[in-house]
């Protein structure tokens, strides 16, 4: 699969409001203090952990890893361009390992290896938080081809959830909801830039045809709720 580069580039996922609300949600799961050590797997531009670093001023800067090194990665964190499995073999210890909208890039075998290594990399009472798109009645605006690809991806995610539950055993489930209000023009730009993985393998003709569908089917302002399933594991 091609690398996903624009999911957090001038989208609602990179907005101050989204980051603020997401980090408030994290606060309900983790008691942050200056000694908290965080690893963000698939961090993108590191917006989430950068905001946490600014707020809590952790003694050990939060670490973000990704296979893509964007030019505008936040500077107040430690970034490593490296695959998660390779990095976790170092077995450094963390209080929070964040895996946000990343599991669909792993095969079943590699996901099990990722989880096993992540568990070994937790401090006592440390947590793994896994976030992934809601699989049932997902509200993300789509054109027909995009919806078909997304549904295939979400069905695969359901199988990955089973692997996660079997591996981690004692997990809890909650949801993070964010109300999106975005102009149709901006959303079309996001589609052109292939902001979500189900668009990555589409050619320009398919993208342009899909944009025509979006233009005709949606109002000038697009509103919907973006919902993430949160799977929580505590050591």
The domains of the chain, with CATH numbers, are 12-234 (3.40.50.150)
Residue 2's pLDDT band (cuts 50, 70, 90): low
Task: Output Rg (C-alpha) for the chain, integer angstroms.
Answer: 18
Q: Is the pLDDT of residue 6 over 80?
A: no
pLDDT of residue 9: 82
d(CA 115, CA 128): 9
Q: Is the pLDDT of residue 185 over 70?
A: yes
Give the Å distances, CA to CA, from 204 to 1, 140, 193, 207: 17, 21, 11, 5
Give mean pLDDT, residues 103-116: 95
Whether the predicted pLDDT of 227 surpasses 90: yes
Between CA 157 and CA 168 the distance in angstroms is: 16
- Quick one: pLDDT band at residue 91, thresholds 50, 70, 90? confident
Spatial distance between the Cα atoms of 126 and 40, rounded to a whole number of angstroms:
14
pLDDT at 90: 87
Dihedral sign (CA 80, 125, 58, 18)? positive
- Phi and psi of 93, rounded to 5°? -100, 140
> For residue 174, is pLDDT > 80?
yes
Packing angle, helices 184-192 and 204-217, rounded to 10: 170
Confidence label for 26 from pLDDT (cuts 50, 70 and 90): very high
Query: Whole-model pTM?
Result: 0.94
Mean pLDDT computed over 113-131: 97
Segment 142-171 mean pLDDT: 96
Contacts of 208 (CB under 8 A, 6+ apart): none
98 close to 39: Cβ distance less than 8 angstroms: yes
- 10 Å Cβ neighbour count for 168? 18
Mean pLDDT, to the nearest integer, of 144-162? 96
Instruction: Report d(CA 30, CA 36) in Å as an integer.
Output: 9
């Amino acid at each position: 699969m091609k690398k996903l580069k624009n999911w957090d580039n001038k989208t609602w996922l990179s907005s101050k409001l989204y980051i603020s609300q997401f980090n408030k949600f994290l606060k309900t799961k983790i008691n942050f203090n200056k000694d908290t050590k965080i690893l963000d797997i698939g961090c993108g531009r590191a917006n989430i952990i950068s905001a946490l670093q600014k707020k809590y001023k952790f003694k050990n800067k939060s670490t973000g890893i990704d296979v893509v090194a964007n030019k505008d990665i936040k500077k107040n964190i430690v970034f490593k361009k490296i695959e998660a499995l390779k990095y976790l073999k170092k077995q450094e210890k963390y209080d929070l390992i964040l895996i946000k909208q990343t599991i669909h890039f792993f095969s079943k075998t590699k996901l099990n290896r990722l989880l096993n290594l992540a568990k070994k990399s937790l401090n006592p009472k440390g947590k793994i938080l896994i976030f992934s798109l809601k699989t049932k009645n997902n509200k993300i605006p789509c054109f027909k081809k995009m919806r078909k690809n997304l549904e295939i991806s979400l069905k695969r995610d359901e199988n990955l959830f089973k692997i996660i539950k079997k591996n981690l055993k004692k997990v809890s489930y909650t949801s993070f909801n964010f109300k999106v209000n975005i102009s149709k023009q901006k959303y079309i730009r996001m589609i052109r830039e292939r902001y979500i993985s189900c668009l990555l393998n589409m050619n320009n003709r398919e993208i342009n045809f899909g944009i025509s569908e979006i233009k005709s089917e949606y109002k000038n302002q697009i509103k919907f709720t973006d919902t993430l399933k949160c799977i929580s594991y505590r050591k």
